[in-house]
Structure 1
Amino acid sequence: MLSRPKVGVATWVFGKRPLADTLAFLGALEKLDGVELAVDVLSESAAAVQELLRQHELTLFSLVPENVDLAHPEERVRSEAMTYYRRLIDFAATVGAPRVVIRPFLGRERPLTTWADEMGWLETAVRELAAYASAHPLQLVYQVVNRYESCFINTGEAALAFLDQIEASNVYVALSSFHMNIEEQDAAGAMRKVGEKLSLLHMSDSNRRAIGQGHLKLGLHLWALQDLPHEVPIILDILPPQSNYLLPNLDSSMHKRLEKDLIESTNWF
């Protein structure tokens, strides 16, 4: 029999909506356990974020970054990205987040120079961030995305090879039902193969919509999670129609649709 996983929502899907409003809505969902937060580390107060989470009884599963570039050919751009991630790690340690998600630069389908050079810069950056984060009891979690969003690390197998190069015990993997539908022959098999290194599962249906509005058999993902020896939270990152994953700018009708879809999706579990 399947046991119920911990379920969270990625707050970035709400776009520029005030965090207080977003957490108030999410806190009212009966079957939601927590959140993956997108925060402005320069303007948000860690104490204020902690108070909002406490007020709405939401567990903080992870922090997700802005779209910065650790693999850019220009050293200045890479340095700015490293500074940003160090601030995000510091914020995570202060607010008590157990995970910081690391993303590739989203929207680059091809390398600007060579794949080998840029992959080398990415490996160096993540290795250095892992050393920086080792002072805190948190994981760095590399998010695997499809080839149309990044030319780096598109499968679970590639993520494991990346971790072998990094050689850092505090670096883990986040997989996504949406991205795996594009890249993996067997999504559940990929999850089992990543195994103890799987730290998060991002979930939406095949079309990035609510659970049940696409063609994925997401129960297979739950069985794969249950086969693992540790708990892996599920983070819902569904989007309403016409929303852009890079700049989700939602009007009132889109917010209403997103809220309806999140209610349906959390009730699925």
Structure 2
Amino acid sequence: MDIRLRHTPLPLRIAAPIVAGLIFLLAWWLVTSFGSIPATLLPSPGTVVGRLGRELASGRLWAPIGVTITEAAAGCLLASVIALPTAYLIAHVRLAEATLAPYLAASQAIPAVALAPLLVIWVGYGMRPVVLLCSVMVFFPMVLSTVLGLRSIDREVLDAARVDGAAGAQMARWIEWPLALPATLTGVRNGFTLSITGAVVGELVMGGNGLGQRLAVQSQSSDTTGLFTTLIVLCVLAIAIYLGMTFIEWLVNPFASSPRWYRLTHPHHEK
């Protein structure tokens, strides 16, 4: 995370996007209020909000929202389980970096819509291929952020820990992972947000019961208002995830980013 953003007061970081969203809604309302654009192309904010309220009140939206969040969270978790050990290996073993880095970069050149049909052939329809697609999309950003965090640790802190007797798994547990935690959480935050996109793309291509499937149906029926309501829900989900993960980062940074972490959590190595 950029150091300037990290030092920005939390209330400002929450209020700023809200104000920006209100400005966007005002501009949208002004454009549609003149009547120069047909409602079939761009419905007014009032129409969209009214439709969104009715669908939320009726409960029709809650099940698709739950499915999409479940797919995104499962994909993000699966990617984390593989990405974090891979990042640790790349950060410490030059041969691993030389071997894996080109393939990790190449994986980002494969479009999600091209990978989706293969996943259907391999694992069939349902939630599993969507979860796998989400994990593939977020794997590379998680690896990069974690490697950056591990390699940014102050060498003096590592040397001091070695003098205190830390080595191997103990070094990783009490020094490297806590100090790399802010960068790792940044990767998880970006990955979780991106995994929402992966879930939607997966459902558009492979089908399902989430918000992506709703977008497909609404697009086929030219339901512009419905498309806007679903897109707004997706934006709100992404913003909520982003702010939630940012808050978690803010909570752990005063501890995990401190060079005193090792001595505070492992006092028996004090001289």
Normalising by structure 2, what TM-score? 0.24
Query: 1 or 2 for the larger relative contact order (CA 8 Å, sep ≥6)?
Result: 2
Judging by fraction of residues, say which structure has more strand: 1
Q: TM-score, normalised by structure 1?
A: 0.24
Structure in which a larger fraction of residues adopt helix: 2
> Max radius of gyration: which structure?
2
